[in-house]
Amino acid sequence: MNVRYEGTLFDQEHISNHIFKNRYIVGPMTRVSSEADGTPNERVHRYYERFARGGFAAVMTEGTYPDMMYSQGYENQAGLATEKHAEAWAPIVRDVQAHGAKMIVQLMHAGGQSQGNYYKDTSVAPSPFQPPKPMVEVYGGQGDFPVAKELTRDDIEDVKDGFVQSARYAVSAGFDGIELHGANGYLLDQFLSENINKREDEYGGSIENRLRLLVELIDDVRDAVGEQMMLGIRISQLKATNGTYKWPGGEKDAEVIFSTLGKTSVDFIHLSDDDATTPGFGEGTMTMSEAAKKYSGKPIIACGNLSDPEVAAQLISDGQSDFVAIARQALANPDTPNRVLENQPLDAFDAGSIMKPKAYVKDHELDQTLTEND
């Protein structure tokens, strides 16, 4: 056994009343591998179970759409918007849990970054908005995004109702936790972003107003699922269609955002960053993890260039984060925790052969079986 990381990566830790067997979490990754109506299938099932067998303490789903209106972002994206979806997720959740891993569903409303929707031909945003980059071709998009229409007050209530109903489906499917996707330029992050949200009502203007929907949604979902269900939120500065964006107020904005979230009933904050170990707001500033930890007081999941276990362990040892989420390395090494624990080498990440939108199962025989069944 590799004892170098005892006290860091392989100590137990808890979020709320849930005990995690180590600090490794699989980060959300868009897979576009479900059925056209969003129902997860056998390929999706085997994909998620593989990470649990590989020793991860928790597995987060890909961004999963919560309603049958405007939330879907990609064709063949997984949904949790119907009873059928929930019934299909339930055996996946059970098999992940059977390997000692928690399973957390990430609920995502794409907003103006939607490029494929089974239910609607239009998209919505806090204000009329067109993402600055073209659609992602590898995920089935082509050309420029359309201009999203502005959400009305009634539309906002529909958005909240969709998240709440989806959260109830998460309970029925047996998930251990829910993560609200407030990062990467999707709808909740669009409300937070001053360059997208031009509203003049109580949901726009000041940073406190732009946080309002996130806070209201946290309260509504918590009321719906109770205290036993883990509830978290993912936050980032960067967007899927604007990778250089930073909060204009830097650390001051971070203080307001994380302090506000710290007063809510979320159980954890999950950060998305290019590099979790570098200053988040300019030279000489705190990392995003440091700021989130300092101002929120919540358990922190760091994500961003943490494939090296030495680096990941140091982030935890320094008290900047409680958990590390990995994505691309998890595709290359679905058994990362087991390999690190046994001091086995990690395979290099090969974007050409691994970074593809279909759910990827590393085991050759499993992958061959799933490919034949496509």
Report the distance separating Cα 346 and Cα 344, nearest Å: 7
DSSP per residue, 254-268:
HHHHHHHHHTSS-SE
- Of all helices (H) and strands (E), which one includes residue 232? strand 230-239
Output the CA torsion sign for 25, 29, 31, 35: positive
Selection from 186, 188, 265, 181 nearest residue 230 by Cα: 265
Task: Decide if 186 is catalytic.
Answer: yes
What lies within 8 Å, CB to CB, of 177 at 6+ separation is: 15, 18, 58, 102, 103, 104, 105, 229, 230, 231, 232, 267
- For residues 319 and 347, the answer to whether their CB atoms sit within 8 Å is no
Burial class of residue 161 (count of CB atoms within 10 Å of its CB; 0-12, 13-18, 19+): middle
Residue 282 exposed, middle or buried by CB count within 10 Å (0-12, 13-18, 19+): exposed
Q: What gap in Å lies between CA 193 and CA 188, rounded to an integer?
A: 9
- Alpha-carbon distance of 329 to 360, in angstroms, equals 12
If phi over 0 gives left and psi between -120 and 50 gives alpha, with beta otherwise, what is residue 288?
Answer: alpha
Half-sphere exposure of 92 (CA within 13 A, CB side): 28
Query: Which of 47, 65, 186, 360 is the catalytic position?
Result: 186
Catalytic positions: 186
